[in-house]
């Protein structure tokens, strides 16, 4: 594989995760970091690369083939557009942008420059996610009828010390549901309408403590989902897999996909099928635990970014696809606020 020049904009929590992933790949050479925060100098030294205060200086000096945009979401747009204009392909963190208008600007710029935008929904790189998608989309549980899921955790109290974390933009819908929504769309297909309610009776901040929603999928299935950052429970993606060192692994599945001839518990895949030919409430069940390896999705994502830059593969998560995930996630908030069903 040819070595390509990679630059990172924003050397915070997730920027460092991409930097770490880059050390596992020979196909990129790191040419620079852009971050105005003086603390980023230590990060640049650690990764033996140059620090620039602005994206434009970095682009001029290093002429990268690929740029990872890992700035706070409200600062995704400018470095993304600048990088595309400079002839680089972009891997931008999720959510792709703050609103629909910024998404449209990004898609238009990608089209006019002919450069790709890949969006950092890293869960799509797990083999277990792709296995679940294959089982459902290839009809292994029959026709998908219903989906039931939750992401219910209690975040530490000091998480909310910063005032911005009390605002609606930092609530579990926009911070956490975006990952779940992307998974649901990727595995079960597009969502055509959402109805939701929220409550904030625990912390009484502007942000919600819980949201409950009803989702209608394009294939006709209905789903319900609960998202909460004030519910002490063992049921979340992170608890199920032990992906995050700060969150203990419970191995409890948090989403169930139910079809006419079987069901799938997710993300530790357990497939429930009938022991006989018939599938009804009198049928005996057999369950199978499907193989599920621990993987580093960030390395796989960056490796895919290399293939996107070289034109070997189209983006697994395109700007248009990630825009649909953001639209559905924002609809949860909008429906709860208006009391009306949001359809797309
Ligand atoms: N994929 C995931 O699971 C995941 C997890 C966490 C965060 N994120 C996303 O990553 C993004 C960053 O989140 P974070 O937690 O790393 O934030 P952070 O605050 O830890 O880091 C952001 C960094 O960007 C720098 N920065 C700010 N404005 C900049 C600019 N204009 N140009 C260059 N650098 C700038 C800041 O100095 C800081 O170092 C957000 O969009 C967030 O939603 C994704």
Residue 288: the pLDDT is 96
Residue 255: the pLDDT is 98
Whether 235 maps to a domain, the answer reads yes
Closest ligand 1 atom to the C-alpha of 14? 16
CA of 15 to the centre of ligand 1 (A): 7
Same domain, 76 and 183: no
225 neighbors 213 (Cβ within 8 angstroms)? yes
User: Residue 48: pLDDT band by 50, 70, 90 thresholds?
Assistant: very high
Residue by residue, what is the 3-state secondary structure of 83-151? HHHCCCEEEEECCCCCCHHHHHHHHHHHHHHCCCEEEECHHHHCHHHHHHHHHHHCCECECEEEEEEEE
List residues near ligand 1 (CB under 6 A): 9-15, 34-37, 40, 55, 70-73, 75, 79, 93-94, 120, 122
230 pLDDT higher than 90: yes
Distance between CA atoms of 151 and 129, rounded to whole angstroms? 16
Higher-pLDDT residue of 150 and 161 is 150
Domain count of the fold of the chain: 2
**CA dist list (Å): 194 to 135, 200, 237, 288:** 25, 20, 22, 32
Whether 322 maps to a domain, the answer reads no
Same domain, 50 and 179: no
Average pLDDT over residues 317-323: 98
Element spanning 227, H or E: strand 222-228
Same domain, 112 and 146: no
Smallest CA-to-CA distance from 196 within 228, 164, 219, 169 is with 228
Same domain, 88 and 146: no
Same domain, 141 and 287: yes
Same domain, 170 and 238: yes
Whether 153 maps to a domain, the answer reads yes
Average pLDDT over residues 280-296: 90
Residue 97: the pLDDT is 95
Q: pLDDT exceeding 70 applies to what percent of the chain?
A: 99
326 neighbors 166 (Cβ within 8 angstroms)? no
Whose alpha carbon is nearest atom 38 of ligand 1? 12
Same domain, 58 and 115: yes
Distance between CA atoms of 213 and 303, rounded to whole angstroms? 35
Distance between CA atoms of 74 and 41, rounded to whole angstroms? 23
Same domain, 117 and 223: no
294 pLDDT higher than 80: no
User: Residue 1: pLDDT band by 50, 70, 90 thresholds?
Assistant: low
Average pLDDT over residues 174-183: 96
Q: Tell me how far apart the 2 most distant CA atoms of the chain are, in Å.
A: 69
Whether 318 maps to a domain, the answer reads no
Same domain, 38 and 165: no
Residue 156: the pLDDT is 96
DSSP conformation letters of 270-285: EEEEESSS--STTSPE
Pocket perturbation via mutation, ligand 1, pick of 55, 93, 326 by most ligand atoms within 8 A of CB: 93
Closest ligand 1 atom to the C-alpha of 11? 39
217 neighbors 190 (Cβ within 8 angstroms)? yes
User: Residue 101: pLDDT band by 50, 70, 90 thresholds?
Assistant: very high
> What mean pLDDT, rounded, does the chain reach?
96
SS3 220: coil
Same domain, 109 and 203: no
Residue 146: the pLDDT is 98
Residue 162: the pLDDT is 87
Higher-pLDDT residue of 3 and 232 is 232
2 pLDDT higher than 90: no
User: Residue 169: pLDDT band by 50, 70, 90 thresholds?
Assistant: confident
Q: Which domain holds residue 281?
A: 127-294+327-343
211 pLDDT higher than 80: yes
Same domain, 138 and 231: yes
The CA angle 64-66-68, to the nearest 5 degrees, is 115
Whether 319 maps to a domain, the answer reads no
User: Residue 165: pLDDT band by 50, 70, 90 thresholds?
Assistant: confident
CATH of the domain at 182: 3.30.360.10
Distance between CA atoms of 110 and 31, rounded to whole angstroms? 22
What are the structure tokens assigned to 278, written together? 């018939």
Closest ligand 1 atom to the C-alpha of 73? 41
Closest ligand 1 atom to the C-alpha of 37? 37
Whose alpha carbon is nearest atom 19 of ligand 1? 12
CATH of the domain at 303: 3.40.50.720
Same domain, 18 and 91: yes
């Amino acid at each position: 594989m040819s070595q390509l020049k990679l630059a990172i904009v924003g050397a915070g929590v997730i920027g460092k995760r991409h930097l770490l992933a880059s050390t596992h790949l020979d196909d990129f050479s790191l040419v620079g970091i852009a971050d105005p925060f003086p603390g980023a100098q230590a990060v640049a030294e650690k990764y033996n690369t140059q620090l620039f205060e602005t994206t434009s200086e970095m682009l001029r000096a290093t002429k990268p083939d690929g740029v990872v945009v890992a700035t706070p979401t409200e600062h995704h747009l400018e470095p993304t557009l600048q990088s595309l204009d400079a002839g680089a392909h972009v891997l931008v963190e999720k959510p792709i942008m703050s609103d629909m208008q910024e998404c449209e600007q990004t898609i238009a710029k990608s089209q006019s420059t002919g450069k790709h935008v890949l969006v950092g929904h890293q869960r799509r790189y797990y083999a277990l996610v792709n296995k679940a998608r294959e089982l459902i989309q290839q009809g292994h549980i029959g026709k998908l009828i219903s989906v039931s899921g939750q992401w219910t955790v209690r975040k530490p109290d000091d998480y909310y010390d910063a005032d911005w974390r009390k605002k609606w933009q930092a609530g579990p819908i926009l911070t956490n549901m975006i990952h779940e929504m992307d998974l649901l769309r990727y595995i079960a297909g597009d969502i055509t309408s959402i109805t939701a309610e929220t409550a904030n009776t625990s912390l009484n901040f502007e942000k919600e403590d819980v949201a409950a929603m009803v989702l209608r999928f394009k294939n006709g299935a209905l789903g319900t989902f609960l998202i909460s950052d004030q519910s002490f429970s063992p049921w979340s993606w992170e608890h199920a897999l032990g992906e995050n060192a700060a969150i203990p692994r419970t191995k409890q599945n948090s989403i169930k996909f139910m079809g006419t001839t079987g069901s799938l518990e997710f993300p530790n895949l357990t497939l429930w099928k009938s022991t006989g030919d018939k599938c009804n409430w009198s049928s005996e069940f057999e369950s199978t635990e499907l193989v599920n390896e621990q993987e580093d999705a960030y390395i796989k994502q960056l490796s895919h970014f290399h293939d996107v830059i070289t034109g070997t593969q189209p983006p697994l998560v395109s700007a248009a696809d990630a825009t649909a995930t953001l639209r559905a996630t924002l609809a949860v908030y909008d429906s709860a606020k208006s009391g009306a069903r949001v359809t797309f």
